[in-house]
Amino acid sequence: MLVSTRQLLQAAQQGNYALGAFNVYNLEGVRAVVLAAETERSPALLQLHPSAFAYGGPPLVALCLAAAKHASVPISVHLDHSASPDAIQASMAAGLTSIMADGSHLAYHDNVTFTRQMAKLVHASGGFIEAELGLLSGTEDGLTVPEYEAKLTDPQQAASFAAETGIDALAVCIGNVHGHYHGAPQLDFDRLALLQRAIPVPLVLHGASGLPAPLVRRAIALGVRKLNVNTELREAYLGALKSSLGSSQSPDLLALLQTAVAAMQAVVAEKLQLFGSAGRI
């Protein structure tokens, strides 16, 4: 069933678990997320990176919305990391009501201005808006932020940011990165505890791919209610395709795609269990 991100996050807050937000690019990714969520009796988010929306446009949004409506568990569809007002408006015109307006690359006051404007736009349609304060390093869908440019989220500044912009959720930077972690992840949990106390909206952690389970559980205990997963899903998809193509000169196309779905579904199921949302429906 298609539900709002706000509704999902309210339930996660009450249940002290986190939602899994999984980036999808095609039918196979959508099927993998929905099948895993249904099997695990868990809510979940289908998440579109701006590059995926630019590639698939309204038909990809329609696919995600239709899959969510026909699912037997609550599913939301969310636009991830959009820094473009035009893209945000286009995604809303296509039917999305859950948006991440990402001004984290801007100076603080410019981020406030951009995020406030997008919040007013999204809220005018009854939608949900996520923002980011701080700046994650790493690479996602061809967008790279060098480590020396990364900025951790300041708790006092974050409290002001939330109040000034009217956001519904805040993505925080506590040492998490997009893409692969180089060495053991080092998350600043003292900072996260301060952020939990300072900010009245749910916290989001991007870069959940590759985070060890104990770190994920500790982050959830300190108020993280949404975790984004992209890299591990893409690797499962590509790995399944490479393996199947390498073992057969002419594989059946549907069998090939089903193998890829199964590989991604296993990743999603594992994350739903780890995040504590499995069995909540």
**8 Å CB contact between 25 and 264:** no
Integer Cα distance of 206 and 43 in angstroms: 18
- The three-state DSSP-derived secondary structure of 80-140 is EEECCHHHHHHHHHCCCCEEEECCCCCCHHHHHHHHHHHHHHHHHCCCEEEEEECECCEEE
Integer Cα distance of 84 and 148 in angstroms: 24
Task: Give the type of residue at 86.
Answer: D
80 a catalytic residue: yes
Task: Give the type of residue at 168.
Answer: D
Kindly state the helix (H) or strand (E) to which residue 70 belongs, with its residue range. Answer: helix 50-70
> Helix, strand or coil for residue 192?
helix
> Helix, strand or coil for residue 185?
coil
Q: How far apart are the first and last CA of the chain?
A: 12
**Other Cβ atoms closer than 10 A to 213:** 10
Distance of CA 171 to the CA centre of its chain: 10
> Helix, strand or coil for residue 79?
strand
Q: Active-site residues: which are they?
A: 80
